[in-house]
Amino acid sequence: MKTKILVPLVVIVLIFILIFSIAPSPFNSYSIPLLAVSETGAGLKGSVAELQLQILSGSGRVFIDSFPFNEMDLQVSTRYAKDLACKFSDIDCSRLDFFHTIRANASIIGGPSAGASIAFLTIAALEGLEYDSSIALTGTINAGYIVGPVGGLKEKIDAAANAGIKKVLIPLGEGSQLVESSELNIVEYGKSKGVEVKEVFDLYDVVYEYSGKNLSIEATKPDPAEFSKTMKTISDGLCERAFQLNASLTSSIPDSLLGMYEKSQQNLLLAINETSKSNYYSAASFCFGSLNDLLTIQLELSNLSEQYLPVLISMTRGNAEALKSGLQKDYNTLGDLQVYAAIIERIEEAELHLDAAEELLNESINISLLAPYLEEKVDEIVYDGIINSIAYAINRIYSAELWQSFLGFDKQVVNLNEATLEQACVSKISEVTGMLDYFSTSFPSLLEESREILKKAQGNREEGNYELCIYQASSAKAQLNNLMSSIYLPVEYYNKSIEGKIKAAERQISEQQNKQSFPIMGYSYLEYSKTLYELGDLYSASLYADYALELSNLDVYFNHKSSMPVISYLSSFYIRIFLFGAIFGFSISLLFKIKSGKN
């Protein structure tokens, strides 16, 4: 009879342990110091804030209680950091609310530099990590869980030293920055202040430094076999046209076009080499470059009349409009979202080049009247510009047509209704805006390219073209991230950074592939990044690695479910109370029944 009593009691105890250990207790509060910098009349001044986080059952909301107050970019960074942390831990956070409390002496708490700290603290809370709460971290947080560069490190180190903090984590490569009015770099300066300054690359490094736990598992590389089959059709289409056009050209190329012709031959050789490696996106890119030069040469040699040019422009524009109107927006995968946006972007690039050709054509009459009075043949220069623009537009439209082969390739269904697309569009725009605001005070003249891309994204948001908005805002953020890497990272760290980005992109894509999804453009840019890295074009390799990271991270903006959603459901405090009452009542009833049977 003792066995009859013991077995149900053991079962009951195990159920209690399951219910109350599967998720962090809603009453637990996690905290770490947060380094901040504020503007004063005497310049920058560092300070130390306290960041606290409490997670309760809810509906995926994010709350910030800060004093004195916070900037909007902190709210954007906090939500993005939370989303990345949930993805990092593979937990469905849609039924959890996140309450952040920040207390500081700084007049304003703001800036994306808190992103990495918020992401780590969220991971610690979600996974119940034990960690050293005296360590401070500063850095932005980016796709691939990469800790991005920040400013004001000297002032932050000073504040940490004054607060008795003994260890500060900073982004990779920034430790070698020299401190003004000193021959010491940041690491040496920290040591002189009694602070150990340690560089970290990503959240895996951060978690290890805080907790001693290595959560980084060597991810398998993506399997591009199926991707390559479809990409090969695009590559073959561009390369075959390029080789056919190359063969049709006369053996005698004018001196004025010889440089362009030689460049086209170099690109064809690169394409052949990449095809032999099954790098079909890289091959397609080189063939596209060659095709532009070859078609320009052919049109130049054709001596098209000024009367025929408007006809050619009109025909090309008609092809662009027909292709755009024939595209279907009825899709429900992130792969199709990327491909659709890439096709539309290619068509719009073609249309912009046709606009430029038309504008030059309209001005050519006035220029031809002035030509006799000018030293250079300006009319020929304008003619060359028209031909270049038309050639590019024709090839861009052809490329867009070929990319339709990828529509329907991705099979993982995602909720992509208009409301979720708009929300993702707004989130991406807000992230880029916050980053631009953060870095604009230090590098106002270097951010114009990112701002221009962001303007396009904002324009597409206003027109309801949310797919293109997401795609362009992602491109703007990638461009900005790469620019900051090139500014903040010393030469000796640049290669390491590129390799780290490539590895992070591989991990992201592999994880999505395991969930039956495939970020088509993300993988395409990853492949091209590797090719450019091998060719020694480090800046472009780094840029395309950032493109790959951003475009393989779009899942973070849409519903992300863990493999065990019941855990999230059971983490609700009220559900656990209900289960406690139910099991307690069942236990009492069972014990009475056993006792009655014994009597």
Q: Distance of CA 379 to CAs 127, 253, 254, 385, 393, Å?
A: 68, 21, 18, 10, 21
20: helix, strand or coil: helix
* Torsion angles phi and psi, residue 67, rounded to 5: -135, 130
Paired residues of 48 in beta bridges = 35
Whole-number pLDDT of residue 383: 84
Asked if 249 contacts 265 with a C-beta cutoff of 8 angstroms, the reply is: no
Rounded-to-integer distance, Cα 545 and Cα 547, Å:
5
Rounded-to-integer distance, Cα 423 and Cα 266, Å:
44
Rounded-to-integer distance, Cα 312 and Cα 393, Å:
11
Rounded-to-integer distance, Cα 238 and Cα 272, Å:
12
Beta strands in 516-585 (DSSP E): none
Asked if 87 contacts 118 with a C-beta cutoff of 8 angstroms, the reply is: no
* Torsion angles phi and psi, residue 303, rounded to 5: 50, 55
211: helix, strand or coil: helix
Q: Which residue has the tokens 């209680």?
A: 65
| Chain centre to alpha carbon of residue 254 | 45
492: helix, strand or coil: helix
Asked if 113 contacts 70 with a C-beta cutoff of 8 angstroms, the reply is: no
- The amino acid at 256: S
DSSP state of 110: -
Rounded-to-integer distance, Cα 161 and Cα 177, Å:
18
Whole-number pLDDT of residue 70: 60
Whole-number pLDDT of residue 310: 92
Beta strands in 81-174 (DSSP E): 96-103, 136-137, 140-142, 146-148, 167-171
Retrieve residue 228's tokens: 């390559």
Retrieve residue 398's tokens: 């052809």
Q: Before 24, cis peptide (omega within 30)?
A: no
Q: Distance of CA 513 to CAs 251, 306, 334, 432, Å?
A: 48, 52, 12, 27
For 320, residues 6+ apart whose C-beta sits below 8 A from its C-beta are: 347, 350, 351, 354, 393, 397
For 144, residues 6+ apart whose C-beta sits below 8 A from its C-beta are: 202, 501, 504, 505, 507, 508, 549, 553
Rounded-to-integer distance, Cα 325 and Cα 391, Å:
22
* Torsion angles phi and psi, residue 436, rounded to 5: -65, -45
Model pTM score? 0.87
Q: Which of 28, 192, 52 is nearest to 573 (CA)?
A: 28
Paired residues of 63 in beta bridges = 99
Pairing type for strands 96-103 and 140-142 reads unpaired
Q: Which of 339, 327, 325 is nearest to 470 (CA)?
A: 339
User: Exposure of 417 by Cβ count < 10 A (0-12 exposed, 13-18 middle, 19+ buried)?
Assistant: exposed
Whole-number pLDDT of residue 567: 39
Whole-number pLDDT of residue 492: 84
For 124, residues 6+ apart whose C-beta sits below 8 A from its C-beta are: 30, 131, 207, 210, 211
Over its C-alpha atoms, the chain yields an Rg (Å, rounded) of 29
Q: Where are the alpha helices (DSSP H) in 277-416?
A: 280-302, 308-326, 334-370, 378-403
What's the start-to-end Cα distance of the chain, in Å?
Answer: 11
Q: Which of 420, 504, 411, 519 is nearest to 94 (CA)?
A: 420
For 240, residues 6+ apart whose C-beta sits below 8 A from its C-beta are: none
Q: Which residue has the tokens 């439209």?
A: 397
Q: Which of 137, 192, 193 is nearest to 164 (CA)?
A: 193
Neighbour count for residue 370 (Cβ, 10 Å): 10
- SS3 helix, strand, coil % of the chain, rounded to 5? 65, 10, 25
Q: Distance of CA 281 to CAs 146, 229, 248, 522, Å?
A: 25, 11, 25, 11
User: Exposure of 163 by Cβ count < 10 A (0-12 exposed, 13-18 middle, 19+ buried)?
Assistant: middle
Question: 128-140 b/e with 16+ CB inside 10 Å = b?
Answer: ebebeeebbbbbb
Tens-digit pLDDT profile for residues 223-259: 999 999 999 999 999 999 999 999 999 778 899 899 9
For 589, residues 6+ apart whose C-beta sits below 8 A from its C-beta are: none
Spans in the chain with pLDDT lower than 70: 1-27, 68-72, 106-111, 364-379, 559-599
| Chain centre to alpha carbon of residue 286 | 25
- The amino acid at 572: S
Whole-number pLDDT of residue 439: 87
